[in-house]
Amino acid sequence: MGPKSTPSRQELEDIWRSNLEQAQIRYRAATARYSDLLKEASEGVPPSPDSPLACARHAQSEALAAYTRVLQVFSELAVHGKRPEEQLKPDLVAVIDDDKSVRNSIKTLLRSAGYRVETFESAETFLESGMAIQTGCLILDIRLPGMDGLELQVRLQDRDSHLPIIFITGHADGSLRQRVLQAGAVEMLQKPFAPNSLLSALETALDGEAQ
């Protein structure tokens, strides 16, 4: 199979126009959900951090941020012809794990080490967010509902993405580790892993990306 051709400007505009429409739909849905819950909330009583209202407010904020990022990329592409890779520095660390406690603990660790971090509960939400272009390293659980980590790795490679991936899993074995490393992953860590192991792997991934 020969090398894939670089997408034309028109093809990129079509892709990012679709991304923009999807991001707008998600933001409108998140806003409607938050508004409905706000109407049902007790007046004058602040919601608890884990309440449906607080979660809906957080989801609305994330959806707005994602829409704004996609709009920025699409506008620069459509108006000035700047391709996405020319616009955004890939300095984000993205964490994909369906376990909220794992996502939160990794986010806390990495932010304390000075990294910019975003978390996602599925491979699909990561792809739909439009944030892959900003991502400098992906910390990815292998077992996920829907699209699993191995499938996401293949999907990114099909897009000619060279995004460094650190796999994390609670079900590691030697053959699986060899498989993901041969496919280009930086490392595979078995849960529970030492914080320094993750930080060391992340440093290796980002150093390689910068070269």
Task: Copy the structure tokens of residue 178.
Answer: 């060899």
Q: Are 105 and 149 in contact (CB under 8 A)?
A: no
Q: Please check the confidence at residue 168 and state whether its pLDDT lies above 60.
A: yes
The top-scoring range by mean pLDDT among 32-36, 43-47, 54-58, 76-80 is: 32-36
Check residues 4 and 206 and name the one with the higher pLDDT. 206
CA 8 – CA 14 distance, rounded (Å): 10
Measure the CA dihedral 26/32/33/37, to 10°. Answer: 160
Domain 89-210 has CATH 1.10.3720.10: no
Mean local confidence (pLDDT), 185-201: 93
Q: Are 169 and 190 in contact (CB under 8 A)?
A: yes
What pLDDT, on the 0 to 100 scale, is given for residue 85? 65
What pLDDT, on the 0 to 100 scale, is given for residue 89? 58
Q: Please check the confidence at residue 153 and state whether its pLDDT lies above 50.
A: yes
CA 143 – CA 126 distance, rounded (Å): 15
What pLDDT, on the 0 to 100 scale, is given for residue 3? 42
Domain ranges within the chain, ordered by starting residue: 9-85, 89-210
Mean local confidence (pLDDT), 151-155: 91
pLDDT grade for 44, boundaries at 50, 70 and 90 = low
pLDDT grade for 5, boundaries at 50, 70 and 90 = low
Q: Please check the confidence at residue 132 and state whether its pLDDT lies above 70.
A: yes
